[in-house]
Amino acid sequence: MHISEFQKIISKKYEKRDRQRGTPATFMWFIEEVGELATALASKDDKSKADEFADVFAWLCTLANINDVDLETACQKYTRNNTAGFKPK
């Protein structure tokens, strides 16, 4: 599945309600999920880790949707050969 496909699924299921909630409140939900991911990463529960990664990605898609950002297009900055702005290690 492509990022854009998943983003569209999230949009169809949640975008109307998410736009009503707005970016600030939606961002707080996203941060809560990031906190849950942090807790899962500290555990040894691989299923919990996978679940929380999925939740974080879904909420990131929600934020992108209500801010009219196509994540697949945005991520192209990492897939192009142009590495300007990246610091070498």
The pTM is what? 0.87
Where helices occur in the chain by DSSP H, the ranges are: 3-21, 23-42, 46-66, 71-74
Does 55 map to a domain?
yes
Domain span including residue 27? 3-68
Q: Which of 3, 17, 16 is nearest to 69 (CA)?
A: 3
Kindly report the CATH number assigned to the domain that includes residue 22: 1.10.287.1080
Determine the Cα–Cα distance for residues 85 and 52; give it in Å rounded to an integer: 30
Does 85 map to a domain?
no
Does 86 map to a domain?
no
Q: Which letter does DSSP use for residue 89 in this model? A: -
pLDDT tens-digit profile, the chain (89 residues): 999 999 999 999 999 999 999 999 999 999 999 999 999 999 989 999 999 999 999 999 999 999 999 999 999 988 887 666 666 55
Does 73 map to a domain?
no
Does 15 map to a domain?
yes
Does 76 map to a domain?
no
* CA–CA distances in Å: residue 29 to residues 25, 37, 81: 7, 12, 34
Q: How many structural domains compose the chain?
A: 1
Structure tokens at 77: 């900055």
Query: What's residue 86's pLDDT?
Result: 61
Query: What's residue 63's pLDDT?
Result: 98
